Structure 1
């Protein structure tokens, strides 16, 4: 390295950013690459309408929406409209209509106000209708932003569907107190229809168990009191009740009830039905 290079070393060329097209690095731009003149235009502000633009200008300049300086606001609005037209942006008709409304309000404010003899305390304000529309639009815009901030399905969370097979309805079990109350009701009914008779009667619990099983149809319910015929004696009722308890104990008979204080039903158990 000579003395000139030591005193004035050459500047290092910074490396160019790596650009790859189809996996191959590209060091230089192609000669035939065409870039449209409007491809790099960027719009910093996007408005949803003329009211949105007016509200933005008012809040940006920290103006009082109830006392709008129409001259300054109209000048700023027209500057935006002219800038948009200069960039060949197709303006909607509502923007041009709002420009005409602002100019009309500005010109009406320059005129001397009329004195009303009937109502001297009230005067017509050309800005009243515009202020009302701006306040309503701002209220609706805030409500929309609050709704957008809420969690939304597909954006903030995903929904999941789970298939649950239909479970068989399980009837509530019968308490001993309710079964005893049903038995006492049957016993009291039998006492009212009996007469005094002296005799000896041999009754078999197993025989009554077989009769009950024969009376029941597999898969169908029978009301508890139908197992006790009205013409039965007290002894027969007692043996029949003992037979029901024995069948329930051996899981050959199901005793169910839909709800408290509802009628009690009996049904053959699945094992007995088979």
Structure 2
């Protein structure tokens, strides 16, 4: 098998002058944030009790890791070497014989290291718990929706019969003011009043509801006019509309007419 294909030709032998630096490829299997992180990793991997650390075995594994980093030409921080020196000191202090009288007074050489490891483990666990919380734009995305303007047509409200009756009541109340001017009542015709309303809306696009009534005719004239208006509505010859709710009522010719 050729090593490569150069300009269509297979390369079966590496050039003699080809130089590959020794640090061209580096593989990182574990990443530690410091010497305490490395110690905690070694303790957890072997399920050791953090309060009773076997210093000899941990020191051997720790120095072995430092030697591996040196062989792989990894940049070794000075704090790793400091921790190796601390482990060596603790190991030597535990190996040295101590007088029997001082056993109860002298503190365990591992106590300070254990305290630092416990404190570091608490902060590390807190950081991991915080990292597992849902994070905006990492685990949770804010949904945004926009509705385009559909150009909806706002229809005017339908005229309610109660509003028509209220308007009629207002007209009849004002018609009573002219009742005393009538000496003799003239006969009134619903058909004649229907024709008058049709002529009125034919000459005007919109006619106010009150303008269809002749207040001087009194209550009788208002009733006849209202009956004529209802008959025209029934026969779909006129429409009652208003621009807004509780607004003025207008009479107009039907749109289909």
TM tier relative to shorter chain: 0.5 to 0.7
For 1:256 and 1:53, locate their aligned partners in 2 and report how far apart those are by CA, in whole Å: 80
- Name the structure 1 match of 2:166: 185
Asked if structure 2 preserves the Cα contact closer than 8 Å seen for 1:84 and 1:91, the reply is yes
Does 1:25 pair with 2:10?
Answer: yes
- Name the structure 2 match of 1:222: none
Deviations 1:11-65 (A, max 9, x none): xxxxx35622344322111222111112244232233455543443233222345
Q: SS of the counterpart of 1:202?
A: helix
Q: 2:123 aligns with which of 130, 133, 136?
A: 136
Does 1:61 pair with 2:42?
Answer: no
Asked if structure 2 preserves the Cα contact closer than 8 Å seen for 1:208 and 1:240, the reply is no
Deviations 1:95-119 (A, max 9, x none): 567x289659958x9696769xxxx
Asked if structure 2 preserves the Cα contact closer than 8 Å seen for 1:228 and 1:240, the reply is no
Q: SS of the counterpart of 1:186?
A: helix
Asked if structure 1 preserves the Cα contact closer than 8 Å seen for 2:36 and 2:117, the reply is no
Deviations 1:163-200 (A, max 9, x none): 8642224436746xx72233233233334433146443
For 2:229 and 2:89, locate their aligned partners in 1 and report how far apart those are by CA, in whole Å: 100
Does 1:167 pair with 2:159?
Answer: no
Q: SS of the counterpart of 1:193?
A: helix
For 1:27 and 1:77, locate their aligned partners in 2 and report how far apart those are by CA, in whole Å: 44
- Name the structure 1 match of 2:218: none
Asked if structure 1 preserves the Cα contact closer than 8 Å seen for 2:32 and 2:38, the reply is yes
For 2:76 and 2:37, locate their aligned partners in 1 and report how far apart those are by CA, in whole Å: 14
Equivalences, count: 213
Cα distance 1:237–1:202, how it changes in 2: closer, same or farther (>3 A)?
A: closer
Cα distance 1:77–1:132, how it changes in 2: closer, same or farther (>3 A)?
A: same
Does 1:202 pair with 2:193?
Answer: yes
Asked if structure 2 preserves the Cα contact closer than 8 Å seen for 1:209 and 1:240, the reply is no
Asked if structure 2 preserves the Cα contact closer than 8 Å seen for 1:208 and 1:239, the reply is no
Asked if structure 2 preserves the Cα contact closer than 8 Å seen for 1:256 and 1:264, the reply is yes
TM-score of the pair, normalised by structure 2 = 0.55
Listed as ranges, the matches of 1:210-249 within 5 Å are: 210=202, 213-214=205-206, 227-229=208-210, 232=213, 234=222
The structure with the larger Rg is 2
Q: SS of the counterpart of 2:10?
A: strand
Residue segments in structure 1 that go unaligned for 5+ positions in a row: 1-15, 116-124, 154-158, 216-226
For 1:238 and 1:104, locate their aligned partners in 2 and report how far apart those are by CA, in whole Å: 115
For 2:89 and 2:157, locate their aligned partners in 1 and report how far apart those are by CA, in whole Å: 83
Q: Which structure has the highest helix share of the two? A: 2
For 2:7 and 2:248, locate their aligned partners in 1 and report how far apart those are by CA, in whole Å: 79
Asked if structure 2 preserves the Cα contact closer than 8 Å seen for 1:190 and 1:230, the reply is no
For 2:21 and 2:2, locate their aligned partners in 1 and report how far apart those are by CA, in whole Å: 22
